[in-house]
Structure 1
Amino acid sequence: MTILADKDLLALAARLADEAAEIIRTIRARGFETVTKTDSSPVTEADHAAEAHILRGLRAATPYIPVIAEEEVAAGLQASATPSYWLVDPLDGTREFAAGRDDFTVNIGLVRDGHAVLGAMALPAYHQLYTGGVGLGAHRTDKQGTQAIHTRKPPAEGLTVLASRHHADDTRLAEYLNNQPIAHLGNIGSAVKFARVAEGLVDLYPRLGPTMEWDTAAPQAIVEAAGGHITLLDGTPLIYGKADWKNPPFVCTGTR
């Protein structure tokens, strides 16, 4: 059995995320149906097809690393954290996808000893691919090629903030932002918000509503590789391996 180095694991995750993005674009172009899962969240053919492709690729190339994937868990697969494991969200932002909006992603992250250490995130509608990891830097690949990305220091005129589209009326958001210098506040869906922090377009993404570990592992690795930070509201790190895979509220920031 070949044990892959982290740079090769990141290349694997990047390739599979990019291929899954193409699967999603193909299904979107020809049309699809949306059904509701038992937790009242939506799921589509694209979620299942993208996840199946990613799982085949990860399990073939890294049989020694378990994979925790959103739709398998939703289908009843029981899994628990191990020292290392992949976390896969094949289509983060299904509501955005189903509504015909562009803010949805493919997330493949690797957790080691409770920390997100590398990840790949594709933005299918934007034809963008983000990658990052400990000691590997953070990069964006698009039609112009591949370039390193970095978070930015907040500008003097105030913070650019992105928050969840589906929790825009959460009173906790206004309370959290109170007394902070805000130049612009926008609301979009999915993990796209992390990408905009990682590449230095946005300064702050407060997430006060629910998320799951597969929503955040890949984005966290990318943001932190780009110089940013993801912490709980008390300033402690967002870590992985929770029994129910649920994250508490957190804040994603750029360079401090």
Structure 2
Amino acid sequence: MTIRDDHALARDIATEAGELLLALRSREGFDDPTALRHAGDLESHAFLAESLSRLRPSDRVLSEEGTREERLDPRRQTADRVWIIDPLDGTREYGDQGRSDWAVHVALWQRTPHPHPTQASSPGVVNGHGVLVAGAVALPAQGVTLTTASPPEPPAPRQGRMRIAVSRTRPPEFVRKLAYLVGADLVPIGSAGAKIAAVLTGQVEAYVHAGGQYEWDSAAPVAVAQAAGFHASRIDGSPLVYNQGNPSLPDILVSLPDLAPTLLAGIRDVHR
């Protein structure tokens, strides 16, 4: 593995973790999907944690698969650099044969005591304490890794109805009302990373979610989305803030930049 910078590191280890997950899937098969999902979570986490410990030993890590003590470690709150990882985003889909809508997330948050004035007021990932500076989303079963090293360009405007990615198992009811209001179709997709990747690659125009997520569910895809010039915010338009003591981040909107005002206005109307 050749490590040039943080962007390349995120890309390389997310991709390699994805390759390990594909190999595990092939080796173990799908006779016991629960065991396969559990093994995938653990194996990918172990690889990513070891890689970051070896290659960035002074940085902290916030992982979905970390222990409670690791998540609450007060040193993370004072660290200048924190890697936010989801070793297997879409564990349910990973255990289902034939599904490709699961991902590996690797993002780097970095403290910025004095953010640039234009950043501090913009929606997205910037706040008074830190910013996502690098990230990668590997979609191993699709053979794709989206990365801040070479972020995708927003697709050209598309004719026809807007498409909004939603959870295939628990789409929020308000999104159905939003879709009716703005004239959109709902597209069920598995993991959060796969949903945001679908926005970045032009399969849908937006992803709207509310009702429960954590920082590791969105940090890496949001890092790529922001680097590529897409809109990413809370559903009220406020910034997505990362590396908090409580890693809950319950709602999110990622969309083509030109559609964000329409969607935010629609969300406000639905919640009146």
Question: How far apart, in 1, do the equivalents of 2:41 and 2:157 lie?
Answer: 36
Question: How far apart, in 2, do the equivalents of 1:159 and 1:122 lie?
Answer: 26
- 1:8 alignment counterpart: 5
1:28-67 superposed matches below 5 A: 28-31=25-28, 33=32, 35=34, 43-67=37-61
Note the C-alpha offset of 1:253: 0.7
- 1:152 alignment counterpart: 155
- 1:117 alignment counterpart: 133
- 1:83 alignment counterpart: 80
Question: How far apart, in 2, do the equivalents of 1:112 and 1:76 lie?
Answer: 18
Percent of aligned pairs with the same amino acid: 30
SS of the residue 2:237 aligns to? coil
TM-score (normalised: structure 1): 0.82
- 1:187 alignment counterpart: 188
Question: How far apart, in 2, do the equivalents of 1:167 and 1:207 lie?
Answer: 10
Question: How far apart, in 2, do the equivalents of 1:197 and 1:245 lie?
Answer: 24
* Change over 3 Å in CA distance of 1:75–1:188 after alignment to 2: farther
Judge conservation of contact 2:34–2:95 (CA < 8 Å) in 1.
no
- 1:145 alignment counterpart: none
SS of the residue 1:27 aligns to? helix
1:104 aligns with 2:102: yes
Judge conservation of contact 1:107–1:218 (CA < 8 Å) in 2.
yes
SS of the residue 1:202 aligns to? coil
Judge conservation of contact 2:62–2:71 (CA < 8 Å) in 1.
no
Note the C-alpha offset of 1:241: 2.2
Match of 2:147 among 131, 141, 144: 131
Which amino acid is 1:106 matched to? V
Note the C-alpha offset of 1:198: 1.4
Q: Whose strand proportion is higher, 1 or 2?
A: 1
* 1:176-201 Cα shifts (integer Å, max 9, x gaps): 3231032x321011111111211233
Query: Number of residues paired by the alignment?
Result: 231
- 1:162 alignment counterpart: 165
Which amino acid is 1:200 matched to? G
Judge conservation of contact 1:200–1:254 (CA < 8 Å) in 2.
no
Report the more deviating stretch, 109-118 or 87-96. Answer: 109-118
Question: How far apart, in 1, do the equivalents of 2:169 and 2:69 lie?
Answer: 24
Question: How far apart, in 1, do the equivalents of 2:178 and 2:131 lie?
Answer: 26
TM-score (normalised: structure 2): 0.78
After the TM superposition, which segments of 4 or more aligned residues of structure 1 sit over 6 Å from their partners? none
Question: How far apart, in 2, do the equivalents of 1:18 and 1:137 lie?
Answer: 14
Unaligned runs of 5+ in 1: 37-41, 139-148
- 2:235 alignment counterpart: 233
* Change over 3 Å in CA distance of 1:222–1:164 after alignment to 2: same
